[in-house]
């Protein structure tokens, strides 16, 4: 109960901040549930006056910055979910910069010492002031010395040290309670939104943030991608210093290079811009389609070109995974659009189970054709693969396709990667660049070799099933006896179970009455409608 009340007050405060910043003006009244429209008009009374015309595109970003790190991370996450907040707000949130003032050097040094079990002076020979600070962590440039185990020579190396903010886990945990409260209120009072599964959206955010706040997992992601890329050329990730890495501290190789944001400097250094664009896109597609594991935060600030002309990716706190089904889906739909095989693209959606079986595959193929045909005959540089995927996800809503978060994260990352490639090469041909990677995967996995591998896997699965058959039969027999006894005697609960159920029902009843009363508070409604659309 206490947690719910605290979450409520944080939610009301958030609604007030959103109202003060003028966020309600971004909402389309027709899209807002009827009970919340009066609250929306009331919220406009709290909007602060501005001396200059406000840029509507920054209203939401400004409000989230005022609310703090958790809300910034929420905004970045919702930028990947246009299905939840709408395309316009998602586009506004794309520009949300995760930049905050750095925290004190003394706090950083204390956190490092606690995490690694030694003073900073014993771990690093130099430790500089922070060079970048975000909602979860900040980064310091440092130098370390290690002894070569073979000859005893001391090697000095420059490193980047990422340190978590103090008390950041507690702050996120508290704010997540507010997000869950908003999601529960909406699922309870606004039935149309249930298809978007607001509580599941917050679950995904909570899981993502939990992973980001264990820097050992980022280190593991770096090394996994490095192993996946072994033998690839033109793209790499920095090495990890595991001896100076823990849950709250990550130490990696310092990257000397030019950020991909500085195209002019890259050109002046003599690097091949067209080649870099192709390498970036093909590397991303290999990671997604071939490996099923990709860097999901590939904005140009996280990408460098080193002196050898290789692209180096940093900040792998956010990654995406695709299972075999999703990888096949991605490869086949891209290849189907390239080959104009719309029926095959439609069939893949049904085979993957993304579109319900009661829908008509031929009608769905017709909708796919409506997306693909306008692309034919257009100049390649004017055709966006990322936009095509966005249109595809929009169309699937008409056919009751449930939200697939992993595919939305992929699509969002592809938007960013494609945009970076076009800044390097305005004439960039996304389709010609992607085709070799996609065709290679299809040839390997859907050709004769792939079918033989699938058959072998099926034989192995049958073998395992045969081996487990005696235990499965024993379980089935016990279950049958249990049902038979229940049919004779009825379902019986012991006294302790009955008391616990009664206590929980009473507690839920009080909580629900409180939530309903609170739901009438206009600013709580504003908080949801503004953030969750």
Structure-block tokens of residue 142: 């440092």
- Judge residue 223's burial from the number of C-beta atoms within 10 Å of its C-beta, 0-12 exposed, 13-18 middle, 19 or more buried: middle
**C-alpha–C-alpha distance, residues 324 and 321, integer Å:** 10
Half-sphere exposure of 519 (CA within 13 A, CB side): 18
Structure-block tokens of residue 49: 């006056």
Instruction: Identify the active-site residue in 248, 297, 341, 425.
Output: 297
Which are the contacts of 295, defined by CB distance < 8 A and separation ≥ 6? 225, 284, 287, 302, 313, 316, 318, 319, 413
Which residue, 323, 322, 325, 331, is CA-closest to 294?
Answer: 322
Half-sphere exposure of 263 (CA within 13 A, CB side): 13
**C-alpha–C-alpha distance, residues 304 and 257, integer Å:** 5
- The radius of gyration of the chain from alpha carbons, rounded to an integer in Å, stands at 27
CA 480 to chain centre: 44
Q: CB of 294 within 8 A of CB of 287?
A: yes
> How many helical (H) and strand (E) elements, i.e. helices and strands, does the chain have?
22, 10
**C-alpha–C-alpha distance, residues 403 and 528, integer Å:** 19
Strands 137-147 and 126-133: antiparallel
Phi, psi of 429 (to 5 degrees): -105, 95
Active site residue 297: yes
DSSP, residue by residue, 166-211: TTHHHHHHHHHHHHHHHHHHHHHH-GGGGGG-HHHHHHHHHHHHHH
C-alpha pair distances (Å), 133 with each of 69, 104, 317, 435:
11, 11, 14, 39
Phi, psi of 113 (to 5 degrees): -60, -40
Q: CB of 427 within 8 A of CB of 381?
A: yes
Maximum pairwise Cα distance, the chain: 85
Active site residues: 297
């Amino acid at each position: 109960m206490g947690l719910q009340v605290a979450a409520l007050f944080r939610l009301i405060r958030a609604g007030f901040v959103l109202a003060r910043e003028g966020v309600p003006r971004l909402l389309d009244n027709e899209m807002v549930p009827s009970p919340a429209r009066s609250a929306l008009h009331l919220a406009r009374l709290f909007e602060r006056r501005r001396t200059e015309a406000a840029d509507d595109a920054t209203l939401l970003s400004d409000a989230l910055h005022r609310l703090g790190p958790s809300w910034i991370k929420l905004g970045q996450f919702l930028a990947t979910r246009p299905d939840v907040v709408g395309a316009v707000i998602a586009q506004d949130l794309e520009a949300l910069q995760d930049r905050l003032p750095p925290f004190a050097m003394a706090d950083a040094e204390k956190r490092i010492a606690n995490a690694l079990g030694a003073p900073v002076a014993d771990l690093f020979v130099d430790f500089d002031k922070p060079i970048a600070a975000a909602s979860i962590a900040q980064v310091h440039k440092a130098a370390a010395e290690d002894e070569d185990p073979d000859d005893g020579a001391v090697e000095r190396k420059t490193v980047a040290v990422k340190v978590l903010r103090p008390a950041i886990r507690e702050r996120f945990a508290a704010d997540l309670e507010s997000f869950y409260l908003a999601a529960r209120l909406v699922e309870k009072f606004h039935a149309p939104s249930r298809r978007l599964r607001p509580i599941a959206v917050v679950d995904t955010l909570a899981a993502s943030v939990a992973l980001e706040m264990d820097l050992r997992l980022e280190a593991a992601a770096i090394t996994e991608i490095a192993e996946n890329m072994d033998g690839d050329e033109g793209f790499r990730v920095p090495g990890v210093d595991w001896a100076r890495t823990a849950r709250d501290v990550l130490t990696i190789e310092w990257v000397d290079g030019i950020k991909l944001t500085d195209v002019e400097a890259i050109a002046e250094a003599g690097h091949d811009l067209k080649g870099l664009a192709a390498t970036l896109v093909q590397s991303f597609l290999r990671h997604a389609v071939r490996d099923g594991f990709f860097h999901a935060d590939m904005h140009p600030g996280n990408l460098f070109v080193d002196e050898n002309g290789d692209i180096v990716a940093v900040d792998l706190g956010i990654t995406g995974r695709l299972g075999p089904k999703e990888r096949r889906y991605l490869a086949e739909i891209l290849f189907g659009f390239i080959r104009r095989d719309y029926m095959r693209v439609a069939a893949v959606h049904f085979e993957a189970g993304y579109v319900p079986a009661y829908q008509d595959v031929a009608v769905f193929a017709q909708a796919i054709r409506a997306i693909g045909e306008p692309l034919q005959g257009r100049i390649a540089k004017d055709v966006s693969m990322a936009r095509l995927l966005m249109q595809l996800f929009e169309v699937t809503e008409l056919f009751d396709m449930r939200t697939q978060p992993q595919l939305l994260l992929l699509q969002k990352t592809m938007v960013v990667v494609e945009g970076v490639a076009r800044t390097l090469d305005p004439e960039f041909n996304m389709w010609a660049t992607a085709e070799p990677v996609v065709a290679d995967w299809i040839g390997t996995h859907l050709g004769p070799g792939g079918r033989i591998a699938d058959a072998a896997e099926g034989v192995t699965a049958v073998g395992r099933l045969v081996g487990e058959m005696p235990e499965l039969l024993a379980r089935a027999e016990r279950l049958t006896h249990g049902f038979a006894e229940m049919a004779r005697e009825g379902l019986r609960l012991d006294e302790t179970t009955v008391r616990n159920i009664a206590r929980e029902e009473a507690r839920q009843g009080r909580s629900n009455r409180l939530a309903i009363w609170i739901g009438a508070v206009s600013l709580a409604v504003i908080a949801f409608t503004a953030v969750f659309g």
